[in-house]
Amino acid sequence: MNRVLGSVRARASAGATLVVALALVAAATALLLVLRSNLHKQAELEAEVKARDVASQIATGTAYDKLDLPDGEDHPVVVVGGNGRVLAAGDDVRAIDGKPVGAVGKPAGTPPGPSDDDDDDDDETRLRPGEVDDEVHHRDGTATVDGKEADYRFASVEAKDTRGAKATVQAGAALAPQQDAVATVRDAMLIGLPLLLLVVAGVTWLVTRRALRPVEGIRSEMAAITASTDLSRRVPVPSSQDEIGRLARTTNETLAALETSVERQRRFVADASHELRSPIASLRTQLEVAAAHPELLDVPGAVEDTVRLQRLAADLLLLARLDAGERPSDTRIDLAALVREETSQRVTDRIPVRVGPLTSGEVAGSRSQLARVLGNLLDNAQRHAEASVRVEVVRDGAWAVLRVDDDGPGVPEADRERIFERFVRLDDARARDDGGAGLGLAIARDVAMRHGGSLAVREGSVFELRLPLAGG
């Protein structure tokens, strides 16, 4: 149950239903208010029309007992004189607002009309004989007609007959039709709105279920991949070009990158084990021979194997740090000064390093790692050069460019990217190798990329390192 309530489908359905419910309640409330107001105004207009009709009859001289009064139940009418006497009343009209109307000609219990405190002088100046007042007074009230009390909207109009006597006409319009209409609409809404909300919830549930079905396929496939550790599998990609389709494609891209990374790691471990096995085995053999026959100990060979093992371990540790995402520091380094210092210390090289133009340019990064890149490039050049190794530093716009070239045979164009892979050595390099493991160029490119730059082979034997100049 908790799983269902906590699902995306349930939350989406509940949210959509709640939003629609709030919107429908607001719309229904507004509709009822507008309907009630319009019907109220309609009743008000009906009452005013009836009042003015009777007032017009009085103004034209029709006798009070001859007035054509509307039906009492729908439109109760009472005509009151200036002295408070009831001059005329509709059929079966017994009370207005709970006050008895009384018999025609009697003042007792007459219903309230518009202000009876107006001065006769005001009446005289405002109305003349035979006129109907333009001003209308409205109010809600009750009337008892034929023994039944009901709600009405009343309109009060003053008029003077041809003799100048003032009379006030109060006419009502029944509010029962309005109340019945509002009640009918309200009842219909109370029945229809819940049904509509059920339809909205059901449709939202079905639509969301269909929309999220690919997500369930992705989830189940990811669970299977996790359980099987088979990174070659891929999640199903829906045909739609929506967010779920993009999610599936991104998931597959992530799986592909993860598979590549894991495979690369496996090859790295296997190659590292292979490369470590040789110097360790050689060193162990020499030590075992020395233990049995000390006079046969090859000290230079043991030292050479130890140095080779030390260098390989250092390379592997550096690659591990780079793979772990280690970022270089932001130290400012003058690339030209770095080249001068590093080349001055290479006194045992097979071929002396010739230094070309060195244009000063500061880059940000790790001095030790950049020195490692330069050393690896020079070592590679020493391994392949015939008689010349050259290094230079120039500026190219916002870049500092370090170039190392030699007069060797160069790298075939087909192998210019492969040589930067780990543990890769070309056949001619293997024939003349002095014990390298094929990690130098791979380390150099990884360091260059971590510094925001690049390392590539240009024109066969020119290795070009490009690094962004440090900002001012």
**Do residues 319 and 335 both lie within one domain?**
no
Phi-psi region of 359 (alpha: psi -120 to 50; beta: other; left: phi over 0): beta
pTM above 0.75, yes or no: no
Residue 201 confidence (pLDDT): 87
User: Tell me, what amino acid is at 345?
Assistant: Q
Q: Which residues, 6 or more positions from 354, have their beta carbon under 8 angstroms from its beta carbon?
A: 388, 389, 390, 391
Q: Select from 232, 259, 196 the least CA-distant residue to 25.
A: 196
Pair (282, 406) in one structural domain? no
Same domain, 22 and 171: yes
Tell me, yes or no, whether 144 and 78 share the same domain. Answer: yes
Cβ–Cβ under 8 Å, residues 275 and 423: yes
Whole-angstrom distance, CA of residue 159 vs CA of residue 132: 4
Q: Are residues 181 and 301 in the same domain?
A: no
Counting beta carbons within 10 angstroms of the beta carbon of residue 73, is it exposed (0 to 12), middle (13 to 18) or buried (19 or more)? middle
Name the residue type at position 106: K
At 55, the amino acid letter reads: A
Which pLDDT value is given to residue 6? 52
As given in the structure block, the two tokens for residue 471 are 């900002």
Residue 307 within any structural domain of the chain = yes
Strand partners, 400: 395, 467
Contact 70, 50 (CB under 8 A): yes
- Whether the CB-CB separation of 375 and 339 falls below 8 Å is answered with no
**Closest Cα to residue 422, out of 398, 443, 400?**
443
**Residue ranges making up the domain that contains 385:** 331-468
Query: What CATH number should be reported for the domain holding residue 248?
Result: 1.10.287.130
We report the CATH number of the domain holding residue 458 as 3.30.565.10
Does any domain span residue 235? no
Q: How far apart (Å, rounded) are the C-alpha atoms in residues 423 and 259?
A: 19
Kindly state whether residues 314 and 405 are assigned to the same domain.
no
Closest CA to 423 of 410, 434, 438, 405: 438
Is 230 domain-assigned? Answer: no
Question: How many whole angstroms separate alpha carbon 367 and alpha carbon 371?
Answer: 6
Last residue of a domain, which of 192, 224, 256? 224
Chain mean position to CA 383 = 57
**238 assigned to some structural domain:** no
Query: Which pLDDT value is given to residue 102?
Result: 67
Q: Decide if 446 is inside a domain.
A: yes
Give the C-alpha separation, 185 to 191, whole Å. 10
Question: What sign does the dihedral 240-246-247-253 (CA atoms) show?
Answer: positive
The structural domain count of the chain equals 3
Q: Is 233 a member of any domain?
A: no
The angle subtended at Cα 69 by Cα 66 and Cα 72, nearest 5°, is 135
Asked if 108 and 79 touch (Cβ cutoff 8 Å), the reply is no
Same-domain pairing of 464 and 351: yes
337 shares a domain with 298: no
Task: Identify the segments of the chain with pLDDT beneath 50.
Answer: 1-5, 108-113, 115-121, 123-125, 429-433, 435
Distance CA 339, CA 354 (A): 11
Instruction: Tell me the C-alpha distance between 468 and 361, whole Å.
Output: 10
What CA–CA distance (Å, rounded) separates 214 from 412? 48
